[in-house]
A and B are shown apart, each in its own frame.
Chain A
Amino acid sequence: MEKHIQLPITRETARTIKSGESCLLSGVIYTARDAAHKRLCELLKDGKPLPFDVTNATIYYVGPTPAKPGQVIGSAGPTTSYRMDAYSPMMIAAGETGMIGKGKRSAEVVAAMKEHGAVYFAAIGGAGALLSSCIKKAEIVCYEDLGAEAVRRLEVENLPVVCVIDSEGNNLYETGRNAYLASR
């Protein structure tokens, strides 16, 4: 019942992923949080190239704990997404097709998702030890000075996520809660 998705996600694929679908993502994703998004969007504003190709990229909002010896990466669950709302429309316009985080998004982000074709997934917040087992390779791409907030390139296998908001603007945070309340 889970949908296997091979990354990267194209604009066309993004439009086929529906709110409420459980997905397993495999392939390459990039990490970025608040500080990295700020820097990336400053580059975009200045018309400069980004340190990685954002075309069809999926970005995971995560700041992992340091890897213990023998580990690929430490605990790596999602951070709250609304702090990236100021930056996401610009990232989506630049080519981003997938976002992984947790929690609500702004109307502006949803509008950009509908316009360009992008999808918002949630991973389980607070399940960082479990999620890190799906990360097979991790390397820093840029902004090493930001520590946990540096941009990393991750190779993931069957990363479990749920599509919360799809490219039509359907939102599981509303429909899921309403369906449960209606069932009582």
Chain B
Amino acid sequence: MREIQANVLTETIAKLAIEANCVLPCDVKRRIEDARKNEPWETAQGILDKIIENYGIAEANTVPICQDTGVCCVFLKIGQDVHIEGDIRAAVDEGVRRGYTEGYLRKSVVADPLRRVNTGDNTPAMLYTEIVPGDRLEITVAPKGFGSENMSRLAMLKPSDGIEGVKAFILRTVEEAGPNPCPPIIVGVGVGGTFDKAAYLAKKALMRSTDERNADPFYADLEAELLEKINALGVGPQGFGGKTTALAVNIEWMPTHIAGLPVAVNINCHVTRHKTVVL
């Protein structure tokens, strides 16, 4: 059994929270720069130029790319042969607390959804754990802004709605969101499972690099088709019109019940942030 001290978890998360908020992942930058090259609409070109300038400034000065430094989503893939010495939940939250305080990040979490008092340190983290084979610990920190989170939707479709129903729901969700989630967006889709699993898969889909397509060619084709259809909507960067509405569509799927077809769409903005390390 490999031992990892909980304070290592804390330090890693603090560091990742700052890096993730100030440095956009390379694949997302590449998508935006490619989109700029292929964007025919002048207003849209100007906005993409400003977006590129913005993440350059953020990276050079270690300041947040966006002021919404999000709720801090933390994904732990814990090898079954690893033992974490100490309180995992407390260690994760301490990492978020430190990262958000030391990194001058915004504290955007309220303790209670109805009474709404800010916790003051961006805790608690949204913690997702998965037990996997092996003796490694994979940590992903993904700050998630709520401009795009608020535009996310879930539908319990009928099996008879089929693939056309799924496509229509995804397109409708993106079109209705329009300018609100800061397009160009990245679209995370979860299909199958249960009500809650579909939502989880959609969030997980956003953690995948935009360079990677679904391993199953059927779903990879669906990703490509949806990206093309979304970019034909004409919403454009910031909703002012243009070709670049989405940078990528990532789909995750899993088995489901004979009576159901859950589909969840988790929208992320052009400031799609996640950073992973393996201990």
Contact = CB atoms under 8 A, between A and B. Distances in A.
Chain B interface residue bracket vs A: 35 or more
Contact of A177 (B69, B106, B182, B234): B234
B182 A102 contact: yes
A124 B50 CA distance: 8
A65 B104 contact: yes
B172 to A, nearest CB: 15
A172 B179 CA distance: 11
Contact of A180 (B57, B147, B236): B236
B106 to A, nearest CB: 4
Nearest to B145: A126
Given A126-B54, A128-B54, A129-B57, 13 more contacts: A62-B67, A65-B69, A65-B104, A75-B66, A77-B68, A124-B51, A125-B66, A126-B270, A160-B50, A177-B235, A180-B44, A180-B243, A184-B234
B234 A126 contact: no
Nearest to B60: A129
A130 B108 CA distance: 21
A162 B66 CA distance: 19
Contacts of A65: 63-64, 67, 69, 104-106
A14 to B, nearest CB: 21
Interface in A165-184: 172-173, 176-181, 183-184
B57 A130 contact: yes
Contacts of B41: 180, 183
A87 interface: no
A68 to B, nearest CB: 5
B67 A74 contact: yes
B271 A126 contact: yes
A102 B51 CA distance: 15
Interface residues of A, number: 45
B180 interface: yes
Given A124-B238, A126-B182, A126-B271, A176 B106 contact: no
A79 interface: yes
Main secondary structure of the interface of A (DSSP, over half): mixed
Contact of B180 (A35, A102, A147, A162): A102
Interface in B223-275: 234-236, 238-243, 269-271
Interface in A11-33: none
A127 B180 CA distance: 14
Nearest to B47: A124
Nearest to A147: B118
Nearest to B233: A177
B41 to A, nearest CB: 5
Nearest to B117: A145
Nearest to A172: B240
A180 B66 contact: no
Contacts of B120: 147
A114 interface: no
A129 B63 contact: yes
A64 interface: yes
Contacts of B107: 147-148
A80 B116 CA distance: 18
B235 to A, nearest CB: 6
A63 interface: yes
Contacts of B269: 125-126
A122 interface: yes
A95 interface: no
23 contacts: A62-B67, A63-B106, A64-B106, A65-B64, A76-B67, A80-B147, A124-B51, A124-B238, A125-B238, A126-B66, A126-B182, A128-B64, A129-B64, A129-B65, A133-B57, A147-B118, A148-B67, A148-B106, A176-B240, A177-B236, A177-B240, A180-B243, A181-B241
